[in-house]
Amino acid sequence: MRSDYLFTSESVSEGHPDKVADQISDAIVDLFLSKDPEARIACETLTTTQLVVLAGEIRCKGVYENGAWVDGAKEEIEAVVRAKVKAIGYEQDGFHWEKFEFINRLHGQSAHIAQGVDADAGANKDEGAGDQGIMFGFACDETPDLMPATLYYSHKILERMAADRHSGAAPFLEPDAKSQVTLRFADGVPVAATAIVVSTQHAPGYDEGAKEAELHAYVKAAIAAVIPAHLLSDETVYHINPTGSFEIGGPDGDAGLTGRKIIVDTYGGAAPHGGGAFSGKDPTKVDRSAAYVSRYLAKNVVAAGLATRCTIQLAYAIGVARPLSLYVDTHGTGTASDAALEAAIAKVAQDKLGGLTPRGIRTGLGLNKPIYGPSAAYGHFGRKAQGDFFPWERTDLVEALKAAVAEAHQPA
């Protein structure tokens, strides 16, 4: 592993067209789980100029039963979608929460998928994974939330700008925005921000003269409020709206689709990604739940001081409950061997979660709840665990992991 290098990560705001799609899809997940904790949802969203389209497969008591919509369900879905777009802040000529055309093409879940995923008490068959795939979790000690610093600061810049937009402190901002942070690392530690890019949609007139200067000054102040002062200097290069005007944005400027920002959602390129998106999927889909539990385990390894960097991979087959493999890589930073950590993690996961099966993950982390909306913008990881939300960010396995590793090193 190199110790001296430049590394870059990007983020996008809640108003980015792909993130609008993610948030709509997860609003549908939350709606259905609020009606039926065992609901099955695979909701994809398309957004473009004055249009939102939903497509996918569902099964949910109180919403879609026996191959038909329950009375009022379609109207409730549309109301939830429009409310989400309104909350993001879209009231523009090209995309307005009240005026866009809405098309709902959700339909019943395939019976062939259901038979592989559902538990069967009579046959003593546990709930199988909703699809095959590989999922990764990662943690490092670069930030207090044990996330890669480049992604962490990219998210925080846009969160700050969105908060100022919603509060009215920065009324010239519009919802769509992107950020990118490049840091120099020395001995594996971030020591300087060499380049920062922010492109933000803005009100008319903020692309020239005094108003443009006001926008640039605001963005630099927002960056300074987020990135530690010791990382910024006269040598930091700022690129603020480098293409010029950015009045047309959001779904009017570019079509958005669920699941197109998976690197932004995870670790900003600092760790592998299995390829599956999270938003729009209920927690029987291991694309989502196994990625969450992998992060949970990796974060607890680092929080326990057992490594300063940790990557975990889980693999599943559709319809099969137990993972096909568990892999740990501490990148040469572990206080115990990676093999010992694999054994410790498997033991702790069994003791504390009931195992790494889809049901064990869902019940152990409490994922069968309408908790996914907040995860659909500014990253699924590195967030604060609060109540039922972001349970995969807890560090409550630290002592159990330490004990399991110590036990593994006891002489026979």
Residues identified as active-site: 16, 18-19, 44, 57, 178, 246, 254-255, 260-261, 281, 285, 287
Which residue shows structure tokens 């400027």?
A: 253
CB 126 within 8 Å of CB 119: yes
Please report, for residues 87, 377, 390, the alpha-carbon distance to residue 17 in angstroms, rounded to integers and kept in the order given: 14, 11, 24
Which residue shows structure tokens 């980015």?
A: 16
Phi-psi region of 92 (alpha: psi -120 to 50; beta: other; left: phi over 0): beta
**Separation of alpha carbons 401 and 296, rounded Å:** 12
Report the half-sphere exposure of 263 (CA within 13 A, side-chain side): 13
In whole angstroms, how large is the CA radius of gyration of the chain?
22
Q: Among 37, 136, 76, which residue's Cα sits nearest to residue 367? A: 37
**Separation of alpha carbons 23 and 245, rounded Å:** 26
**Residue 260 neighbours by CB distance under 10 Å:** 18
Task: Give SS3 for 59.
Answer: strand
Distance of CA 14 to the CA centre of its chain: 12
Q: Among 276, 272, 251, 250, which residue's Cα sits nearest to residue 262? A: 276
Which residue shows structure tokens 């709509």?
A: 24
